[in-house]
Amino acid sequence: MQFRRSITILLGAGALVLTSACSSSSTDAGGSPAKEAKAASPSAGARGGTGSGELQARWWRWTEAAPENANPIDDEDGHLCGDNQASDVWFLAGTHGGAARRTCRMPSGIPVAFPLVNRITSPKSACDAFLAGAKGSATLDGKPVTSQRLDAAPVEGWGSGAMACGLWVRLDPLSPGSHTLSFQGSSGDFSTSVDYRLDAGTR
């Protein structure tokens, strides 16, 4: 698909690629711990093959599995959010830049994971520079959620030495019903934001 081809070419030239949603700080979104929405613990996030390195690789494979012109990063209203999802984690996407508003029907009882801002690049030092300037925030049902800095990890199939990195949120399974999720972020001259309505337990 065109998105994949452009990334391969850029990596071959040693350039950098940005994608996904917004971003929060590497440790939190600025809310006090008592008021933050619950995020998945690292041990919970590691279950089902979603440790930090594998989580990033799986997210990129999820976006790549989409046919041309149906990439979840380009989704304008959320109708693509359920495509190619796994059984142990529900991925969400940001944008290639700019804002989006989406409605997503999803199961309850499954962890949710998404990058606030991320990229694939080579070499590792480019990831370090990207993360140094990354920032943003996220809220679930109006409450700040914590985020994690995921440092450079190898991603197979994206060219020699390809590394993925980003700022991520991992949420415990949502309760049945409607939820609002908003996130935004930036690094350098790239910025993105997404507002989701998540209808859990409706698939």
Of the CA atoms within 13 Å of residue 134, those in its CB half-sphere come to 34
DSSP 8-state class, residue 181:
E
Instruction: List beta partners, residue 195.
Output: 101, 182
Query: Which stretches of the chain are DSSP H helices?
Result: 2-12, 42-46, 52-64, 124-132
**Structural contact between residues 73 and 65, judged by C-beta atoms closer than 8 angstroms:** no
Q: What is the pLDDT of residue 52?
A: 76
The burial class, CB within 10 Å (0-12 / 13-18 / 19+), for 160 is exposed
List the pLDDT tens digit at each of the 203 positions of the chain: 333 333 322 232 233 343 444 333 232 333 333 334 445 543 333 334 456 788 999 999 999 888 888 999 999 999 999 999 999 999 999 999 999 999 999 999 999 999 999 999 988 999 999 999 999 899 999 999 999 999 999 888 787 889 999 999 999 999 999 999 999 999 999 999 999 999 999 76
pLDDT at 39: 57
Q: What is the pLDDT of residue 161?
A: 87
Distant-in-sequence, close-in-space partners of 202: CB < 8 Å, separation ≥ 6:
105, 106
pLDDT of residue 194: 97
pLDDT attached to residue 147: 94
List, in order, residues 6 or more apart from 50 with CB less than 8 Å away: 58, 88, 89, 111, 113, 170
Domain ranges across the chain? 2-200
Q: Are 150 and 167 in contact (CB under 8 A)?
A: yes
CB 150 within 8 A of CB 59: no
DSSP per-residue codes, 79-111:
TTTTTT--SS-EE----SSEEEEEEEEE-SSS-
Helix axes 2-12, 52-64, angle to 10 degrees: 130
